[in-house]
Amino acid sequence: MSVPKDHIYSPSTQEEIRLASDSARILAACHGRGNTARLRLIDDDKDITVPVKAIHMLADILHMMEQNQAVSIVPVNAELTTQQAADFLNVSRPYLISTLLDAGKLPFHMAGNRRKLYFKDLMAYKEKQRQESQQAMQALADMTQDLGLMD
């Protein structure tokens, strides 16, 4: 079975937003049995077993739909251009190239004469940045408390 790619969806209607909200709440609470859960598709009169992770991903998509937000699903091994990577990290392309790629902070490979990045490397970099920010905020909070500035 092939899955169509590049679906373009129009903004959600009020009824779709309500359905997404109700469904997201139910799916987010699904614990399944171990790593899988069994779903019943009423329209096709079928039971299917799916990974619980997939149910939670669907709940996240429905939550974004409830907020009328666009969602993009990107395979972790997808190759991105420097512009796509910069957009994902919310930085300029020149900053990405000079500060992150040329400085060796983010791996890339060449495809012809173009730099390409794997999405999984961007995700790892973003997670590392999040952890460093969290540690810096904790250090600042500790310092503030040590200095008695929280009184």
pLDDT of residue 9: 72
pLDDT given at position 83: 96
Give the mean pLDDT of the chain. 89
10 Å CB burial of residue 62 (0-12, 13-18, 19+) is buried
Tokens encoding 61: 């998509």
When pLDDT is cut at 50, 70 and 90, the band that residue 91 belongs to is very high
pLDDT confidence tier of residue 5, bands split at 50, 70 and 90: low
33 - beta bridge partners? 36
Q: Distance between CA atoms of 7 and 67, rounded to whole angstroms?
A: 19
pLDDT tens for residues 27-53? 888 877 788 888 888 888 899 999 989
Show me where the domains of the chain are located: 14-66, 79-146
